[in-house]
Amino acid sequence: MPNAALDMRISRRTRRIQKRQNEILDAAKEVFLGREFSAVTMEEIADRAVMTRTTVYQYFRNKTELYGAVVLRDMETLAGGMIASFDKRQDMASNLEAVAKAYLAFFSTNSFYFKKFSFFFLPGRGAPMPEEASKQIDIILAGAVAVIEQCLELGLKRGECRHIDTRSVALAIWAQWMGCAYQAITNHTTRFGRNLEQVYMAGMDIALRGLVQQEEAVKPAKPPYSRKR
């Protein structure tokens, strides 16, 4: 049993570390949203987390690394929701709709993206994301796009859609969703009397119609009429 007891101690210690890290990230997120990034200090984040600055430094070297960790955690939440919504037992249309709703749910509750925060830049877009965080975000982003591609590949395999380049279509759908989120967050949809869900579902309807539409045989062009001489 000694190994089991050791495992339990390690597990408890890991949970405590994760809890402390999340508390720091929650505090940092609040501070980053409330102030200009350049004005934020580690001491301010420590005060918000009700910890000493020394404790915060035990987990994060500086505010840039902290911001990267905040965004990385959000990206994991976004991708995790999309992955969890995919169900191989469902058809392509149902899966794409479920994954789209997971994407929609994230930006409905995290509307500060495209405004204050970015997956690719520090606040204010004055500098790119730290290299290590950027690499990890790219990996998670690729996993999120891969879920859309999985939906398409399963549909293609089952004969639910016409022959397509699933990678290109997945990227196009991702771009469409990102554009819809940007429109809603910047209030472009409300100016036209629509909400985010209506625009998403309209976009999905267009995409699905294009995917299931049967390819028509291309008819040869008729030769130009010429009068016999």
pLDDT tens column, 16-30: 889 999 999 999 999
The per-residue pLDDT for 226 is 45
> Is 119 within 8 Å of 178 (Cβ atoms)?
no
**How far is residue 188's CA from residue 196's CA, in Å, rounded to a whole number?**
10
The pLDDT score that the predictor gives to residue 8 is 57
Give the tens place of pLDDT for each residue, 145-156: 999 999 999 999
Least confident of 66-70, 163-167, 204-208: 204-208
DSSP assignment of 117-130: B-SSB-GGGSSBPP
Share of the chain above pLDDT 90, in %: 54
Q: What is the pLDDT of residue 220?
A: 45
pTM for this model (two decimals): 0.80
Q: Is the pLDDT of residue 131 over 60?
A: yes
pLDDT-derived band of residue 216, with 50, 70 and 90 as boundaries?
A: very low
- How high is the pLDDT of residue 72? 93
Residue range 152-203, pLDDT digits in tens: 999 999 999 999 999 999 999 999 998 888 888 788 888 889 887 888 888 8
> 134 pLDDT exceeds 50?
yes
| Residue 103: how many other CB atoms lie within 10 Å | 25
Report the half-sphere exposure of 202 (CA within 13 A, side-chain side).
9
* pLDDT confidence of residue 119: 86
Question: Taking all residues of the chain, what is their mean pLDDT, rounded to a whole number?
Answer: 86
* More confident: 3 or 82: 82
pLDDT tops 50 at residue 6: no
Q: What is the mean pLDDT of residues 126-137?
A: 87
Amino acid of residue 95: N
Res 218: pLDDT: 38
